[in-house]
Amino acid sequence: MPGTNQPQHGIQGLAAKLQEFTRRLTSLESWQRTMSVPASPWIAPTLLNSWADFGSGFANAGYFKDPLGLVHLQGEIIGGSSGSIAFVLPVGYRPGAFNNYAAVNGSGVMGYVQIGPTGNVEIITATGTAAQQSLVIPPFLAEN
């Protein structure tokens, strides 16, 4: 008696393999569409408290959320003071808790970029003054 685990042969076997291949290809194409990121996804934030884009060939401040829900930041900013809010991320782009990311500014001073659940992006340095500051940090999960 033929078992269900027997390999299929002939036309029926080829038809079954073609159907499975088509199902997998459709699934892969769907995943690829979901994972594609637009060519220019960066959103320019409204900079606050004297913070401005650094310029000089560096990327302007920006953020975007990828299909996995991770928020990415880019850019170099200058002009604000340590502890001041550089910009506010909108709802849907905020972490669920405070996150601190180590950063060295253009003067070589150690500090961090702090992002909170209210969306405030603050630049905090050990000396209290802020120079050219990179916003390039590891991506974080948008939870708020």
Residues 10 and 58 in one domain: no
The domain total for the chain is: 2
Residue 47 in domain: no
Comparing CA positions, the residue from 93, 78, 88 lying closest to residue 125 is 78
Q: With respect to residue 128, please indicate whether it lies within any of the assigned structural domains.
A: yes
**Same-domain check for residues 13 and 66:** no
Mean pLDDT by 10-residue block, N- to C-terminus, for the chain (144 residues)? 60 79 73 60 95 94 93 93 94 96 83 95 81 90 92
Query: DSSP alpha helices (H): ranges in the chain?
Result: 10-35
Q: Do 32 and 59 lie in a common domain?
A: no
pLDDT value of position 39: 53
Q: Are 65 and 128 in the same domain? A: yes
In angstroms and rounded to an integer, the radius of gyration of the C-alpha atoms of the chain is 24
Residue 64 lies in a domain: yes
Q: What strands lie across the sheet with 70-74, from one edge to the other?
A: 62-65, 70-74, 140-141
Q: Residue 62's pLDDT is what?
A: 97
Q: 25 with 61, same domain?
A: no
**Is the residue at 44 inside a domain?**
no
Structural domain range at position 103: 52-141
Q: What is the pLDDT of residue 8?
A: 61
pLDDT of residue 121: 98
**What's the CA gap between 101 and 94, in Å, rounded?**
15
CATH of the domain at 88: 2.60.40
